[in-house]
Amino acid sequence: MALEWEQVVVDAADPVALGRWWAAALGWVVVDDAPEEYEIRPSRDRLPGLLFVRVPEGKQVKNRLHLDFRPEDQAAEVSRLLSLGARHADVGQGEQPWVTLADPEGNEFCVLAARRPS
């Protein structure tokens, strides 16, 4: 029996707004724009995707699961994400080589430093 990773589900107060934000941040495409379940993917035929679903309660504490991204230029990417509406997040990480940000609904994610040449 094999499993295929379909998507990561993200609880949201406003699935459409948050899904649009992540689509812009990642350069992904919208595959389902329903107001209660908004799905984006790297391309229409590529998985996994992100599925944003409406929930009545707001985010209360640090995420138990978060996404890490490794750009070619960390400073430029952090600047770009901040200009889209991300904000710096302090989850007790201290001084690290990655930058912790939060999306418009407060979900934390990390922007890692570029890989060192091997």
Residue 80 sits in a domain whose CATH number is 3.10.180.10
Give the number of domains in the chain: 2
CB under 8 A, 24+ apart: contacts of 30-33: none
Q: Is residue 4 part of a domain?
A: yes
Q: 53 pLDDT band (50/70/90 cuts)?
A: very high
Q: Are 20 and 48 part of one and the same domain?
A: yes
The encoded tokens of residue 46 equal: 């590529």
What are residue 79's phi and psi, to 5 degrees?
-60, -45
pLDDT of 114 above 70 = yes
User: Are 77 and 102 within one domain?
Assistant: yes
Q: Domain check: are 44 and 70 in the same one?
A: no
Q: Which pLDDT value is given to residue 118?
A: 63
Q: Within a domain: residue 60?
A: no
Q: What is the pLDDT of residues 74-86, one digit of tens each?
A: 999 999 999 999 9
Q: Does residue 49 form part of some domain?
A: yes
Angle between helices 15-26 and 74-84 (to 10 degrees): 150
Task: Show the beta-strand stretches assigned E in the chain.
Answer: 7-12, 29-33, 37-41, 49-54, 67-69, 87-88, 99-102, 108-111
Same domain, 10 and 43: yes
pTM higher than 0.85: yes
Give the bridge partners for 11, in sequence order.
53
Angle at 29 between CA 97 and CA 26, to 5 degrees: 10
3-class secondary structure per residue, 5-16: CCEEEEEECCHH
Q: What is the pLDDT of residues 8-36, one digit of tens each?
A: 999 999 999 999 999 999 999 999 999 99
Model confidence at 70: pLDDT above 90: yes
